[in-house]
Structure 1
Amino acid sequence: MILAAGRGERMRPLTDATPKPLLKVRGKPLMQWPMEALAAGGFTQLVVNTAWLGEQIEQRFGTRCAWDTGLASTLGYSHEARDFGGALETAGGIVRALPLLGEVFWVAAGDVFAPDFGFSRAAVERFVAGGRLAHLWLVPNPPHNPKGDFGLDEDGLATDDGIAGAATRFTFSTIGLYRAALFAPPWCDIAAGNPDGVRAPLAPLLRAAMRKAQVSAELYLGPWTDVGTPERLDALNAP
């Protein structure tokens, strides 16, 4: 699943007429980078959630998109603004899209640039064998998030505190593997398929699962940018 429903307020005026995931980085739409990377890993069935100017995203990619690499992806859409008037936040959006997803699935944000990240079958196999509800990729804290989001213990479990009680925390890259069970009771009380359009963030679900040792994680040290401001976009596109 590619998350592409955000308004991109901090990117205005660039996002007044263009959805943030379609802003170009190094010659192609920002969201196209993870879409192509998923296809390169063998994951060619994609689900995209949309809200702000979401019709532009479907017009750009359609239901089947061929990449320059010779690979192609098929796309399904969850149009949150059309159905509910606006974005449902991350957990709400995932629950809404669950009928289009499998029991295990990737989620990546369409406004994060991680050009070297590899979406691998081996990672999925390890996750399935491990039996946990989620596996997250964490990154060193960028200047705009100096306190980080989650800890990582010596057993490879994500925590809501630092390592061994220390202050060390890392930033959630937005890239993760999930089981559909995380988005159902007892972890999530939104009705299946989110027919009422409940808006709900993802972090509380993850923290609850972390407290039961149900979230594993690892560090990703490759290039990574949360393209949250025009200045960060300009930096990526600088010659």
Structure 2
Amino acid sequence: MKAMILAAGKGERMRPLTLTTPKPLIPVNGIPLIEYHIKALAKAGFTELVINHAWLGQQIENYLGNGEQFGVSIRYSAEGEPLETGGGILKALPLLGNQPFLIVNGDIFCNYPFIQLKRSINHLAHLVLVNNPQHVANGDFALTQDNIVLNEAEQKYTYSGIAIINPKLFANCAEKAFKLAPLLREAMQQQQVTGELFTGDWVDVGTVERLKQIEAKQKQPKE
């Protein structure tokens, strides 16, 4: 199974850091965010990676190269102008092929075991959800006892930015900028999205403050 790291965001909320450095290359204790993902994916057996980029994207290519030093093969989908999450995945489909693939947001920090997602799916998508962090009030999606993801319910969780996607999800999409969430919600209405709840370490590195919190936690001695 191939994996795609979504790395095209501009990181407006992390200025001034992202004025000269693309968000996925922002370091956590000296190691770029995206490098943590690549090493974790390689360890789980994902060796064919696709990375999309837009803002300062050449820096990402210069740093990662073809991925050989990480034991993976990396191909790039350069967008020029950002295409949002959905549009970016659609543009990269020729590199990803016609089989389900893993996606992971390049701006999260987590210890999710990617090996759990190295499998096929019978639906259009499988989402990894997490408990709602402090900056998310109501969550995104709900889970039934059968692990079917719903758009509306009393108890909602936050979408982690990690998922398996079937290319068929994009069957009726045109090449333009668009978000992934509306596509997922349409598929949910047809009960074509499954999910799971991950309760390990996960942070959306959306602000400088959260970045500092992660670095402080990483420096704490392990029990």
Taking structure 1 as the reference length, the TM-score comes to 0.87
Deviations along 1:198-217, whole A, 9 cap, x unmatched? 00000000000000000000
Runs of 4+ with deviation above 6 angstroms: none
Letter in 2 for 1:237: E
- Structure-2 residue corresponding to 1:118: 113
1:106 to 102, 109, 128: 102
After superposition, residues 77-156 of structure 1 pair within 5 angstroms as 77-81=76-80, 86-102=81-97, 103-114=99-110, 116-120=111-115, 123-125=117-119, 127-128=120-121, 131-156=122-147
Deviation at 1:101, TM superposition (A): 0.2
The yes-or-no answer on 1:75 pairing with 2:53 is no
Q: What secondary structure is seen at the aligned counterpart in 1 of 2:17?
A: coil
2:16 to 13, 18, 21: 13
Deviation at 1:32, TM superposition (A): 1.2
2:180 to 181, 202, 205: 202
Deviation at 1:150, TM superposition (A): 0.5
135-144 vs 30-39, greater mean Cα deviation: 30-39
Structure 2: runs of 5+ lacking an equivalent: none
Q: What secondary structure is seen at the aligned counterpart in 2 of 1:155?
A: coil
CA distance in 2, matches of 1:56, 1:179: 30
Deviation at 1:33, TM superposition (A): 1.2
CA distance in 2, matches of 1:46, 1:155: 31
Aligned-residue CA RMSD (Å): 1.1
- Structure-2 residue corresponding to 1:225: 203
87-96 vs 23-32, greater mean Cα deviation: 23-32
CA distance in 1, matches of 2:114, 2:205: 20
Deviation at 1:64, TM superposition (A): 2.5
- Structure-2 residue corresponding to 1:169: 156
After superposition, residues 53-72 of structure 1 pair within 5 angstroms as 53-67=56-70, 72=71
